[in-house]
Structure 1
């Protein structure tokens, strides 16, 4: 509640089923200028206290989510226009074995809930009900019969068994095999091989006309009842593509019901914001960073010219691309990074100010995490008082900046709650947990059990056991309180510097990191570098730069994201990547990698190029025996600037299109004469 909006915090003991630490709650609320008010049955006998708070015109936070629909309904009936938020302190703190020690946690949860959320941008989708039904036999036709009054249907039969024609041709029935499909709800395109139309005189079974490959069908919805290989990766995440096993009657019924509802205009969240100018995927047809392409489970990301392209209509919101993007080109939008970071900061700082110590952050989602926390509170010992839960849309969205900032702001441990069977797109979060663990280990801040790890379980009691071991901050570890300003990369830098300071004076200046870590050194073997500066022209972050005044290559390690574009572009192949954390001051300033004095034109003295590059070109031309440079005078032209070179070539009468001198014409008599002379000698 650091926003100081003067909000009212209504905290109910839920009929005294959980103890309230008034002093701890008051300390946490006072941090942001909020007023604490308590109750025992706010949703029933003391509902007037809620209505009274609404009438004061200040933002209101209600510490109850079970009765949120009731409070929302009452607020609408009262025509209240004040910001109203809800937070769960009962299942997350009050219904627990350590409830009497959970006062600081309750204060922290209230503080995090007070951080406002930005509106999520939406992506419009429109479906007119044009549906392609893929099936093997009469079952597909029977399904289409049930949907013909709601959808515009075409049936494509892929099987080889005989099919009896229906009595009435109310929708097209064709034959073929769907080779591939692209698109999304309202904009699918299917490529069909073996496409054939039936003969209208088909009697007992369909007789098909001549077939052709490569036919294309555009539709809004695809209903796949073939039971074969799906047309899309992670097909269950592709909106508008409905797939069911024809042998599973219940699955077919669900698909029919869903298809009938997919007509009209829809909005889906824009899960990821993307700035193509920051993308480090490619430059000049050279490929660099492919982190997001490697992880996207839906195929929503494809290579573009100088950047990747993200189809918001296909994106299912796992956030893996945002979790691993090293430049901040892709950022999660539900909510934006600033909102998540501000909530995290408010949670940890309010916990400390309310008297809490050694917090362990538990990051979870709504679909999987909330039911487990609820079950643990109702049927088990609940969460330990030091465990601070923070809900995110998808745990796979968590980037390195968020994880690092949690430790910089005072978390003694961090746990990511995930299903026992991993969902699609989770590789990125495990990669980031490894990076954070490597950084803490290298700085001497590691602990046992590990400070950053995932809990993969569907059992609430197993979750409780996994959270039982305590973790503590190392002696002398003072949490930072920096504001999460700027891009995620800036927040990451501040967090890592805070951790380096917490590690003390004995902390190393350089910490090795695992492969593909988004920071490190691009080492240049200077003996082979010709200062062509190709690396400076493709570097997306400006880590490599040139000096406009002289031939000089500079490197800023703090800006390097290890995309590999420099190494892929370097013609001499003298650049290698070394992932590491460098806390030295030199990492934040451009360092001269190589420099030479400029070569002076032998004609006018104008500086151009470098001596090593001029000498190297001359040596290659001499070694290759190029006909234009067999004459030393012509070779000297290479030591001139562009103006003097043109003048020298023009004055010397050099014709670059002439080719080498033609040999003199020799007749048979010349050869015979030459042979006679040789015999006489």
Structure 2
């Protein structure tokens, strides 16, 4: 693996030296570094366990809980490949990213498990699994057929599962018991099996009621134990468990991301997943914490107004069913116990009401800016960011690097200009950070997706990337800048990464990513508008796909009565009234394309127009509709629009309660109407009041 310590040091403003066998012959150099209180980065992930052990054994070394060692992979991501000798800028960028501080702490979500486990499935498979974990877990089996062991070692229930909900430490299971044999009382003596003349009782110790002819020989055989009772009424039983293992073919949870603490193992122990689950199950006793991955600001939420739903993108995209609509409260609700931290809800949220908290957008932005600035300082050009997951994505990139080292003539490896950056989940970074990365100098931003992403995540990422691509192309930048890299194996990834660069910015941006999503988008757009000013543009507005968080609203003036219900519904102050005259005004910069105005409008006069207006008019209020005011027939004070009052009069003129003076009062302002009612008390009607 070729290394240029002098060039790396120049990019990082440090004097560096390379060690060919740091974990063996050159270990004293690592031990000296362990004794320093400075940040310690080791560019080797293969021997991370050994380095941690060596640090603990080194006298005078700083404790790992005080100063942890950060590890970064330079070998598979750039050192092993055809372009390894040109990968110094990328290596410098990855080292710079590894030196950044850890994300700021966030609130945590706590799970408490006492180890009470429910295993659902065929009796023989369930008991085989129970035997592997019963020394650690308090096991209950809900039998679904199968053949039981002779020994009755743990509680066994029978019945049909009615419902299952919850999460680690708080699963509520309900099942319906309808069989005459109570498996919890059954001693498995087989006397009933031998006594049944119809052979209606199997070794699952349940009676097939379709075969049973009511001889009741089994009842007599089980008289001493009393496990069989044909008079027992069907009943539902509810219990709480900490862990659930489901061995059935169809899982209890249909969503892509089931609750933590739920394991679906249709092949039982006869699979790699089953054996891995046994190890995981044995560890699920105690108290566990995870970050609360999201922050929610209800004031920014465009989900609903006046019991009308506008944007529900987060509800639709959540693969864990952790988000539900509470439109009567004008908000959504996120269950932190069900949230798996994918962040897809934050990327599709147009307003930034939902934001990713660990790491925060500002911390991710700092990493992107550091990586791209270091890459450029080291002489790198046409950087392509490859965002990937820490699990399957990292494994696939490692596999590609190893293939490139073993078969250099057949496999190219990760190109020198491609900078892999791991994320907790590929769906956790979206349009605001992609555009920021492009403004920071990345010619392309790619997201590596494998088999681990939910289908709705891929749809959401594709839709957002279509918006990003339309934006930069509309500004005049040529090429393909944003795309999903779909790969399941190293060979496919090798081909996918061999793509030509696209036109990037001439001047790299220096702004910092903000906590507010819309603020970050505006900073990125402002920079790109200035940078692309000399590029050819086909129009003053860029048409965008429907997933766009930018756009205008079109108002049908023939239908609009200026009732201004859209103004009260708008969560982003994009639609405004005018206190001095009947006007509907619009600030396009504020519009998030949530659709609440369109769904609220009683006249169906509003449609959305996804686009990016390139002129300064985008930030200025403009009039969408205005009307002649209607003056009170008594005092002359304007109290509505001519069109609105005339429409009201035409609709009510045929109503029995609005005839004569009552109809005339509709032409008066509120004050004059009251005066007129009390001036003619004999004609007062309840509708007038």
TM-score by length of 1: 0.83
Distance change in 2, residues 1:71/1:557 (3 Å): same
Q: Is 2:304 the partner of 1:282?
A: yes
CA distance in 2, matches of 1:331, 1:241: 27
Partner residue, 1:357: 381
Partner residue, 1:22: 6
Q: Deviations over 1:484-514 (max 9, x none)?
A: 2342222222223333333334323211111
Distance change in 2, residues 1:63/1:256 (3 Å): closer
- Aligned equivalent of 2:346, options 312, 319, 322: 322
- Aligned equivalent of 2:97, options 87, 112, 128: 112
Following superposition of structure 1 onto structure 2, how do residues 87-486 of structure 1 map, counting pairs within 5 Å?
87-118=72-103, 119-137=105-123, 139-140=125-126, 150-159=136-145, 171=155, 173-193=156-176, 198=181, 204=192, 205-206=205-206, 207=228, 210-212=232-234, 216-225=238-247, 227-234=248-255, 237-245=258-266, 249-250=270-271, 258-305=280-327, 306-380=330-404, 381-419=412-450, 423-424=454-455, 425-447=457-479, 450-473=480-503, 477-486=506-515
Judge conservation of contact 1:233–1:298 (CA < 8 Å) in 2.
no
Partner residue, 1:40: 19
Other structure's SS at 2:166 match = strand
Distance change in 2, residues 1:63/1:145 (3 Å): closer
CA distance in 1, matches of 2:141, 2:311: 42
Q: Deviations over 1:291-313 (max 9, x none)?
A: 12222222112212322222121
Structure 1 stretch displaced more, 539-548 or 394-403:
539-548
- Report deviation, 1:325: 1.3
CA distance in 1, matches of 2:130, 2:646: 76
Q: How many residues align?
A: 628
Judge conservation of contact 2:77–2:414 (CA < 8 Å) in 1.
yes
Listed as ranges, the gaps of 5+ residues in structure 1 are 1-16, 660-681
CA distance in 2, matches of 1:103, 1:534: 59
- Report deviation, 1:106: 2.2
Distance change in 2, residues 1:293/1:212 (3 Å): farther
CA distance in 1, matches of 2:154, 2:299: 51
- Report deviation, 1:89: 2.6
Partner residue, 1:672: none
Judge conservation of contact 2:127–2:148 (CA < 8 Å) in 1.
no
Q: Deviations over 1:176-214 (max 9, x none)?
A: 322332211111223434556745689624546545476
CA distance in 1, matches of 2:360, 2:585: 34
Distance change in 2, residues 1:452/1:48 (3 Å): same
Judge conservation of contact 2:593–2:608 (CA < 8 Å) in 1.
yes
Q: Deviations over 1:139-192 (max 9, x none)?
A: 546655765554444443445x8x889776963x44332233221111122343
Q: Deviations over 1:387-427 (max 9, x none)?
A: 22211121122211122222222222232222267555332
Distance change in 2, residues 1:509/1:193 (3 Å): farther
Partner residue, 2:532: 503
Q: Deviations over 1:105-159 (max 9, x none)?
A: 2222222223323135421001223333323445546655765554444443445
Judge conservation of contact 1:543–1:559 (CA < 8 Å) in 2.
yes
Q: Deviations over 1:209-231 (max 9, x none)?
A: 54547654332222223x24211
Partner residue, 1:649: 677
Judge conservation of contact 2:243–2:261 (CA < 8 Å) in 1.
yes
Distance change in 2, residues 1:298/1:83 (3 Å): closer
Judge conservation of contact 1:223–1:259 (CA < 8 Å) in 2.
no
- Report deviation, 1:330: 1.9
Q: Deviations over 1:560-605 (max 9, x none)?
A: 1111111111111101011111222111122222234654434445
Distance change in 2, residues 1:318/1:195 (3 Å): farther
Distance change in 2, residues 1:588/1:195 (3 Å): farther
- Report deviation, 1:232: 0.7
Structure 1 stretch displaced more, 322-331 or 47-56:
47-56
CA distance in 1, matches of 2:257, 2:117: 17
- Report deviation, 1:435: 1.7
CA distance in 1, matches of 2:429, 2:114: 37
Distance change in 2, residues 1:547/1:187 (3 Å): farther
- Report deviation, 1:47: 4.6
CA distance in 1, matches of 2:268, 2:419: 46
Q: Deviations over 1:318-347 (max 9, x none)?
A: 222122111112222332222222111111
Structure 1 stretch displaced more, 571-580 or 288-297:
288-297
Structure 1 stretch displaced more, 604-613 or 285-294:
604-613
TM-score by length of 2: 0.82
CA distance in 2, matches of 1:446, 1:68: 42
CA distance in 1, matches of 2:447, 2:169: 36
Other structure's SS at 2:511 match = coil
Other structure's SS at 1:184 match = coil
Q: Is 2:665 the partner of 1:634?
A: no
CA distance in 2, matches of 1:231, 1:352: 51
CA distance in 2, matches of 1:386, 1:275: 38
Distance change in 2, residues 1:137/1:355 (3 Å): closer
- Aligned equivalent of 1:579, options 603, 610, 632: 610
Q: Deviations over 1:620-652 (max 9, x none)?
A: 111xx1223221x32221232323322211221
Distance change in 2, residues 1:593/1:254 (3 Å): same
Q: Is 2:476 the partner of 1:492?
A: no
CA distance in 1, matches of 2:180, 2:288: 34
Judge conservation of contact 2:478–2:502 (CA < 8 Å) in 1.
no
Partner residue, 2:216: none
CA distance in 2, matches of 1:586, 1:279: 25
